[in-house]
Amino acid sequence: MMWQVELHSRFGHQQSAFELDIAFTSNSQRLVLFGPSGAGKTQTLMMMAGLNTPQHGRVVFNDKILLDSQSGVHLPARVRGLGYVFQDYALFPHLTVRQNIGFALHEGWLNPPPSHKDPSVNHWIEVFQLEAVANLYPEQISGGQRQRTALARALVSQPEALLLDEPFAAMDRPLRLRLRSELLQLQAELSLPMVLITHDEEDMQAFAQEVIQVDNGKVVSDSSPSD
Amino acid sequence: MDSAWVALALTLKVAGWATAINLLMGVAVGYTLSRWRFRGRDVIDAVLTLPMVLPPTVLGYYLLVLLGRHGAVGQWLQQNLGIQLIFTWQGAVIAASVVAFPLVFKSARAAFENVEPSLEQAARVLGLSEAAVFFRITLPLAWRGILSGTLLAFARATGEFGATLMVAGSIVGETQTLSIAVYEAVQAGQDQTANFLVLVTSVSCLALLLSAGYLAPGRIAGQAQRGDR
């Protein structure tokens, strides 16, 4: 099994409490967590990535135990080998597009210099057609370019899987369609497992091999989109 | 007039040391209070902000009680290390540090709280250790806010009077800073000296405030908006 996920957490107090109780297994390369906002999708994805810790749970990816609260295993996010694309992309505003993309390749306590030219950084800049904006800052580029920068930044470190939180949420329709097909193409080329969160039915239909429907912190159904 | 330059040099030395100490401690305390929730956090914040609202003479008194020959810290320092802080320029540094500290740690805390948590999360997922996240993301993004607070603290330390006078006294060339020299000159009826000292103090403080304003976060945001799109 590629993914084995079991997460349990309780947030807040009494009346306003939210209970997250998610369990699924999946072998799909393109898995979609689908549901309305506030359903617990982002929490689930962050717990899979190690950015949040459930009260108890277990996350296994390709037989590698990332989290097992029973046996006390809790790998920090930095060693899980997963790429993550944040909903607002979380590009580093003080670094150029090139520095953002090369961020993970540069070790130590200093950021990569603006001029650094790592071959794999150049490769991803080329793939995502970011040459013209490579030396600009995130706030100086368009929404589509930001998303491509975020994807390139996540892919440069060669993650074993890519987690994407509502990657098309802030886009108009034409851009959404274009980036969706780009992402599908990329997934096929790299055969990189992806988990994508969306509340948009069209995104789900277009992207999913398997859909886990989440509502109010629970898995409602697990199916392929044609079911 | 020579004594004015001696006083200016001493003032810059005292304020410089006080600022360096405050920068290190202010960043550490500001970061801790912004990132960790623990019991008593609000109390610690309030106690550390007290120097901003307490009269400097009251602070000076506290420091005397603490650092004086019979004070808990003063006695220990004297007996174990042979260090005496009262009536020394180092004592003036401590007085100026305490008075100016809230300016650094308050602005550092606010600057750290303004750093978007998802940026730190993104850096973690990209393989950075917590220390690297701090030096590559958190500190660079909070730096401007910290720096403008630090410049204000330097200005405050430069103008420090009450607590310094109580802790360090007024020894020419040793602990007599500009503000104390002005007071002494006026008391002694040396109007010319007083005028000159006041002019030197005003010009240096104005220069500091202008540089602090130049580094204020608002200006940075203005520059950032000049992007292409």
Residues spanned by the domain of B171: 2-219
Q: What is the mean pLDDT of residues A29-51?
A: 94
Residue B33 located in a structural domain: yes
Tell me if B184 is assigned to some domain.
Answer: yes
- Tell me if B225 is assigned to some domain: no
- Give A34's pLDDT tier (boundaries 50, 70, 90): very high
pLDDT (tens, 9 = 90+) of chain B, 229 residues, equals 577 889 989 999 999 999 999 999 999 999 999 998 889 999 999 999 999 999 999 999 999 999 988 888 988 888 888 888 899 999 999 999 999 999 999 999 999 999 999 999 999 999 999 999 999 999 999 998 999 899 889 989 988 999 999 999 999 888 999 999 999 999 999 999 899 999 988 888 888 778 767 766 554 444 443 333 3
From A93, A110, A140, residue closest to B228, measured CB to CB: A140
- Evaluate whether residue A63 is within a structural domain: no
Closest chain A residue to the Cα of B140, Cα to Cα: A94
Per DSSP, chain B holds a count of helices (H) and strands (E) of 12, 0
* Residues of the domain holding A92: 82-159
User: Per the CB < 8 Å rule, is A141 touching B229?
Assistant: yes
A142 contacts B229? CB cut-off 8 A? yes
| Cβ atoms of B103 and B153 closer than 8 Å | yes
Asked if residue A97 is part of any domain, the answer here is yes
CB B227 to CB A139 under 8 A? yes
Identify the closest residue of chain B to A103 by CA–CA distance: B126
* Residues from chain A contacting residue B135 (CB–CB below 8 Å): 109-110
Nearest to B126, CA basis, from A104, A55, A200, A101: A104
Q: What is the 3-state secondary structure (H, E, C) of B9-73?
A: HHHHHHHHHHHHHHHHHHHHHHHHHHHCCCCCHHHHHHHHHHHHHCCHHHHHHHHHHHHCCCCHH
Q: What token pair was written down for A211? A: 């859909």
Q: Which residues contact B32 (CB under 8 A, 6 or more apart)?
A: none
| Phi, psi angles (nearest 5°) of residue B128 | -85, 145
Question: Inter-chain contact B227–A88, Cβ cutoff 8 Å?
Answer: no
Query: Residue A17 falls within a domain, yes or no?
Result: no
Structural domains in chain B (count):
1
Distance (Å, whole) CA A88 – CA B129:
23
| A92: nearest CB among B119, B135, B225 | B119
The interface predicted TM-score (ipTM) is: 0.90
Nearest to B7, CA basis, from B214, B129, B164, B211: B164
Q: How many structural domains comprise chain A?
A: 1
**In this predicted structure, what is the pLDDT of residue B217?**
53
Q: For A114-144, write each residue's pLDDT tens digit.
A: 888 889 999 999 999 999 999 999 999 998 9
Helix (H) or strand (E) holding B162: helix B162-168
Distance CA B196, CA B4 (A): 8
**B226 found inside a domain:** no
Instruction: Compare CB distances from B124 to A51, A88, A108 and report the shortest one's residue.
Output: A51
pTM over the 0.90 mark: no
A128 in a structural domain: yes
Q: What is the amino acid identity at position A203? A: D
Q: Indicate whether A68 belongs to any domain.
A: no
Q: Do A92 and B116 touch (CB under 8 A)?
A: no
Report the candidate in B214, B197, B229, B217 with the shortest Cα–Cα distance to residue B11. B197
Give first-to-last CA distance, chain B, whole Å.
56
CATH number, domain at B172? 1.10.3720.10
Size of interface A-B (CB pairs under 8 A): 73
State how far the Cα of A206 lies from the Cα of B1, in Å rounded to an integer.
Answer: 82
Q: Calculate how close chain A gets to B26, using CA atoms only, in Å.
A: 21
